[in-house]
């Protein structure tokens, strides 16, 4: 079991920020990464669609003998985590939200801001979970739908991104926050710009580091850390284009080969067996 891969999925390639952080923390682990580029962005999709896509991907990863599944997407974590956990009970399922809540609850701020996709913000999951453990904290959230596609196109650390980030962060609702949660797995790439915008005055929290630490602790407890150095990684997307492969480098910091497996294709073997 410990030598089995970890399944990681996202709507696209943004979740590679989580895979990258995991690789640094747990260097002997193999993983199978699935990016649902055929259906991205999840942030703009209905709850029903996100649940449907996410569960099919999770079933695919379970069938690939993954020892655990990490939902490396805030939109899918917000909307589909419960749904997946109800249907897949043979292996642990992790979302990217609970590790953040763990950290936030250790030191409740006065006012916390959350930025993310429309699906994540509409779900209201962050305010609900934070208010359960930080009763006095004021929580404000803001949809920032331009940020993920902007980052995916390589626009960060430059004039355009500075203007767009400033435009969002100047929103009145975020006035006087003392922490900001970057609730999207694309956002670690703009963390420095956000810190600069606030002149280092507030705490900026992103999921990559936090979730890899969280998973390491969980795996230790379950005794499923791979100590065997024979690891391999497998990167799958549901719709291949060269530009995804090019952008993948920004998120994973090394060149990777993306393989296309469209689990929704009508003649796919997987579909005959699993998609209902």
Q: Known catalytic residues?
A: 73, 184
Nearest-CA neighbor of 183 among 210, 157, 163? 210
Q: Which is nearer to ligand DGL, 71 or 263 (CB)?
A: 71
In the complex with ligand DGL, the residue whose CB is nearer, 73 or 224, is: 73
Q: How far is CA 276 from the centre of its chain?
A: 26
In the three-class reduction of DSSP (H, G, I as helix; E, B as strand; rest coil), residue 265 is classed as coil
Q: What are the b/e assignments for 159-198, b being 16+ CB within 10 Å?
A: eebbebbeebbeeeebeebebbbbbbbbbbbbbebbeebe
- The distance of closest approach from Cβ of residue 44 to ligand DGL in the complex, given in angstroms and rounded to an integer, is 6
Tell me how far, at minimum, the Cβ of 228 lies from ligand DGL, in Å: 31
The least distance separating ligand DGL from the CB of residue 236, rounded to whole angstroms, comes to 16
The nearest distance, CB 149 to ligand DGL, in angstroms, is 8
Neighbouring C-beta atoms of residue 257, cutoff 10 Å? 9
Binding footprint of ligand DGL on the chain (CB under 6 A):
10-12, 14-15, 40-43, 73-75, 117, 120, 148, 184-186
- Please, which residue, 150 or 224, has the CB nearer to ligand DGL? 150
How far apart are alpha carbons 113 and 240 in whole angstroms?
35
User: Quick one: 68 or 119, whose CB is closer to ligand DGL?
Assistant: 119
Tell me which residue of 165, 178, 100, 102 sits closest to 138, measured CA to CA: 178
């Amino acid at each position: 079991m410990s030598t089995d891969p970890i399944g990681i999925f996202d709507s696209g390639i943004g979740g590679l920020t989580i895979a990258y952080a995991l690789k640094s923390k747990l260097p002997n682990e193999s993983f199978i990464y699935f990016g649902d580029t055929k259906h991205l962005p999840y942030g703009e999709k209905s709850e029903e669609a996100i649940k449907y896509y996410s569960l099919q991907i999770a079933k695919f990863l379970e069938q690939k003998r993954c020892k655990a599944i990490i939902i490396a997407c805030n939109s899918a974590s917000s909307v589909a985590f419960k749904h997946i956990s109800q249907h897949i009970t043979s292996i642990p399922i992790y979302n990217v939200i609970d590790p953040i809540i763990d950290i936030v609850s250790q030191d409740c701020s006065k006012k916390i801001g959350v930025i993310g996709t429309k699906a994540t913000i509409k779900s209201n999951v962050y305010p609900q979970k934070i208010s359960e453990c930080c009763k006095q904290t004021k929580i404000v959230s803001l949809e920032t739908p331009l940020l993920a596609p902007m980052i995916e196109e390589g626009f960060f650390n430059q004039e355009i991104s500075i203007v767009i980030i400033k435009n969002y962060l100047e929103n009145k609702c975020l006035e006087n926050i003392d922490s900001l949660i970057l609730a999207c797995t694309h956002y670690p790439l703009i963390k420095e710009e956000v810190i600069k915008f606030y002149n280092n005055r507030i705490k900026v929290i992103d999921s990559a580091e936090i979730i890899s630490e969280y998973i390491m602790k969980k795996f230790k407890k379950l005794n499923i850390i791979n100590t065997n150095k024979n690891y391999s990684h497998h990167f799958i997307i549901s719709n291949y284009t060269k530009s995804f492969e090019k952008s993948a480098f920004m998120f994973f910091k090394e060149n990777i080969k993306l393989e296309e497996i469209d689990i929704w294709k009508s003649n796919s073997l997987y579909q005959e067996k699993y998609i209902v």
